[in-house]
Amino acid sequence: MKSIASAPGKVILFGEHFIVYGGKAILCSINKRITIESQLSNSDKIKITSGLGTISVPKNESIQNIDPVFRPVVYVAQKILQKFKSDSGLAISIKSEIPAGVGLGSSSACCVAAASSVSGLFANYSKEEVLQLALEAEKTIFENASGADSTVCTYGGMLEYHRDGKIKKLDFVPKFQLVVADSKIMHSTSKVVSKVKKFKDDNPQIFSELCDKEGRLIEETLEALKENDLNVIGAKMNQNQTYLGKIGVSNDLLGAMLGAVNGVAYGAKLTGAGDGGCIIALVDDANLERTVGVLRSKNYECFAAQIDTIGVEQKTEYKS
Ligand code: PMV
Structure confidence by residue, pLDDT tens digits, 170-209: 988 888 999 999 999 988 888 998 999 999 999 999 999 9
The more confidently predicted of residues 319 and 15 is 15
Cβ partners under 8 Å of residue 259, min gap 6: none
Per-residue pLDDT of 119-153, as tens digits, reads: 999 999 999 999 999 999 999 988 777 788 999 99
**In this structure, what are the phi and psi dihedrals at residue 36, rounded to the nearest 5 degrees?**
-125, 130
Distance in Å, CA 4 to ligand 1 centroid: 29
Give residue-wise pLDDT tens across range 282-292.
999 999 999 99
Q: What is the pLDDT of residues 26-81, one digit of tens each?
A: 999 999 999 999 999 999 999 999 998 999 999 999 999 999 999 999 999 999 99
Rounded Cα distance, 274 and 215, in Å: 19
Quote the ligand 1 centre to 152 CA distance (angstroms): 14
Contact 181, 257 (CB under 8 A): yes
Give the number of the atom of ligand 1 that is nearest the alpha carbon of residue 20. Answer: 14
Q: Which residues in 184-215 are b (16+ Cβ under 10 Å) and which e?
A: eeebebeebeebbeebbeeeeeebeebbebbe
Q: Write the pLDDT tens digit of every residue in 73-121.
A: 999 999 999 999 999 999 999 999 999 889 899 999 999 999 999 999 9
pLDDT score recorded for residue 319: 76
| Ligand 1 nearest-atom number relative to CA 146 | 13
CA distance 125 to 116: 7
- How far is residue 87's CA from residue 93's CA, in Å, rounded to a whole number? 20
User: What pLDDT shows up at residue 20?
Assistant: 87
How far lies 317's CA from each of 77, 120, 137, in Å? 19, 11, 25
- Measured in Å, residue 199 CA sits from the centre of ligand 1 at 16
Average confidence score pLDDT of the chain: 95
Q: How far is the CA of 2 from the centre of ligand 1 (A)?
A: 34
Report which ligand 1 atom has the smallest distance to the Cα of 10: 3
The CA-based dihedral angle spanning residues 54, 272, 281, 209, taken in that order and rounded to the nearest 10 degrees: 180
What's the rounded Cα separation, in Å, for the pair 301 and 292?
9
Strands 45-50 and 89-96 turn out to be parallel
User: Is the Cα dihedral 233, 237, 243, 247 positive or negative?
Assistant: positive
For a mutational test of ligand 1's pocket, the pick from 12, 144, 244, i.e. the residue with the most ligand atoms closer than 8 A to its C-beta, is 12
In this prediction, residue 23 carries a pLDDT of: 86
Atom of ligand 1 nearest to the CA of 144: 13
HSE, side-chain direction, 13 A CA sphere, residue 289:
2
For residues 155 and 275, the answer to whether their CB atoms sit within 8 Å is no
H/E segment holding residue 96: strand 89-96
pLDDT at 174: 85
Pick from 16, 163, 249, 271 the residue to mutate for probing ligand 1's pocket: most ligand atoms within 8 Å of its CB: 16
Longest CA–CA separation in the chain, Å: 67
Q: What local confidence, expressed as pLDDT, does residue 143 receive?
A: 78
* CA trace torsion 299, 303, 304, 305 (10° rounding): -150
HSE of 11, CA atoms in CB hemisphere, 13 A = 29
Residue 211's H or E segment, with its range, is helix 204-227
d(CA 272, ligand 1 centre) in Å: 5
Q: Are 311 and 7 in contact (CB under 8 A)?
A: yes
**263 touches 214 (CB < 8 A):** no
Q: Which helix (H) or strand (E) holds 91?
A: strand 89-96
Point out the residues that are catalytic: 149
pLDDT band with cut points at 50, 70 and 90 for residue 320: low
Ligand 1 pocket: which residues have CB below 6 Å?
Answer: 12, 16-17, 19-20, 103, 146, 189, 193, 272-273, 277
